Structure 1
Amino acid sequence: PSREYLSFYAQYLPAVEINTTFYGTPTSKTLQKWFNSTPADFQFFIKMPKEITHTRRLENIGDLAENFCNHIAGHLMHKLAGFLYQLPPSFHYSPDHLKHVLNTVVPQYRNVVEFRHISWWTEEVLQTLEEHGIIFCGVSYPGNIPDAFIINNKEAVYYRMHGVPQLFKSRYDKLFLDKIAAEVQNANREVFLFFNNTFGTSGIINAIEMMNLLGFPTEVLKDN
């Protein structure tokens, strides 16, 4: 049953990226259920609401971000790994936009920012985010965005795989997975990898394949 999906997932994988929070703030009851359904060392990354990242585009948000993050942290406690700010493709680089990013993230938490426009892939941006402790999210995404495995944080790396060439659908082949696995093994810090090619079973299969490549053998699905 769908209500038991998280507890099933957590038997095989060590972390999850929650996407439902993009559409609204979960209740205290829901957060408590997430906490109770997962092992003690399980980790959650929470996507920030679209009202903040897409509707208001990081402008005039007041205490929205801080209140949201504190609400989540108060219930997930030590299982909270951090927050993901996914920004729209129309959010191009500009000095003002960069300031909005820096002013929006809540500094007491681990923050990851995913850009969807190539104008953000510059040394200046990487360095500025590094100085503020913000993780620049590496991505595999259709189009002209580089799929580089980016390290700009002393503690952690974050990489999202959305499906290429078909967004959300394509399954990654062994050549690509081997490349990412090698990057992970050379990173010398905590690494979060999330597969967002969630149409069908592609994402789950790729996640299990990656776990096996990294030396954490597990089997949950057979690809028939």
Structure 2
Amino acid sequence: MNEGEMADAAGTMRVGCAGWSLPSAHAAEFGPGGSALQRYSTRFSMVEVNSSFYRQHKPETYARWAQSVPADFRFCVKIPRAISHEHALVATAPLLDAFLCGAERLGDRLGVLLLQPPPSAAYDGRVASAFFRALRRRSNAAIACEPRHASWFTAQADAMLAGQGVARVAADPARYPLAGEPGGTRDWSYWRWHGRPCMYYSAYEEGDLKTLAGRCRESAKAGPAWIILDNTAHGHAVGNALRLQGILMQTDPTHRRPD
């Protein structure tokens, strides 16, 4: 596998949530396990670790998580805000080393590193490309980026991301027209749906999930698609992810979920 290349085959679609908290309303839909993560991994094949954005986890914590899930399970780990917000991607080598000292303990279950710059962070090609090169030197994980400033949605920024092998997140709600579509490298795609109309709180309707399924199916023709439901505030992410998984499996029996 080349640096940053997705190990999943083209056509693969993984569905998961931001975190592995299981609402009681859906608890019966998961298999047994000694922890919430173990139970979560009986139905989903990926999860996004958002807590790493706010605090540093011990290497032993990542190692324990890796040992709790099946071999085919994958984690996406969010890059700390100290790197993306406080240091604005500049002079971050020591912070990257400290972060990756833990995250890399996931071993081959580490699938993606997610960078989410603040909405105020305008595109600076020199800074961004230098950061991604530094990250590439330290990790073979694939990289996704969810920019939130209009200046990132240009041909120049997209070309830089593609050249670095970085997938630009397809987000919902989309702040700008292109923000709702995958960008950067087209070898794979990463979708983050945050809830609409109220971000993090609203549940998606059946029609929304069917639309997402169709768009992801089309995107997966070019490479694997990873899909995260982030409307976690009222526990809707799990229900929406389970339903999306069901929709995908109705028409695509190769959709990736744990056996």
Band the TM-score falls in, shorter-chain normalisation: 0.7 to 0.9
Q: Match for residue 221 of structure 1?
A: none
Distance apart, 1:21 and its partner CA: 0.7
Question: Could you tell me how far apart the structure 2 residues matched to 1:199 and 1:88 are?
Answer: 20
Asked whether the 8 Å contact 1:66–1:106 carries over to 2, the reply is: no
Which stretches in structure 1 are left out of the alignment for 5+ residues? 218-224
SS at match of 1:105: helix
Question: What TM-score comes out, normalization by structure 2 length?
Answer: 0.76
Q: What's the counterpart of residue 83 of structure 1?
A: 113
- 1:210 and 2:255 are equivalent in the alignment: no
List structure 1 segments (4+ residues) > 6 angstroms apart after TM superposition: none
Residue 63 of structure 1 and its aligned partner are, at CA, apart by 3.2
Matched residue pairs, number?
215
> What one-letter code is carried by the residue in structure 1 that aligns with 2:66?
F
- Distance in 2 between the 1:98 and 1:49 partners? 16
What's the RMSD between the two structures over aligned residues?
Answer: 2.2
- Give yes or no for contact 1:65–1:106 (8 Å, CA) kept in 2: no
| Contact 1:149-1:180 within 8 A present in 2 as well | no
Question: 1:9 matched to which residue of 2?
Answer: 40
Aligned to 2:231: 197
User: How much does 1:49 deviate?
Assistant: 0.9
Summarize deviations over 1:135-187 as a string: whole Å, max 9, x none.
11111136546452315324320010111221100111222211221122122
Deviation at 1:5, TM superposition (A): 1.4
CA distance in 2, matches of 1:166, 1:41: 33
Q: Which structure's relative contact order is higher, taking Cα pairs within 8 Å and 6+ residues apart? A: 2
Provide the residue aligned with 1:119 in structure 2: 151
How far apart, CA to CA, are the structure 2 residues paired with 1:142 and 1:155? 22
1:12-31 equivalences under 5 Å are 12-31=43-62
CA distance in 2, matches of 1:130, 1:146: 15
1:49 is the counterpart of 2:80: yes
In structure 1, C-alpha distance between the alignment counterparts of 2:67 and 2:233, rounded to whole Å: 27
More displaced stretch, 153-162 vs 7-16:
153-162
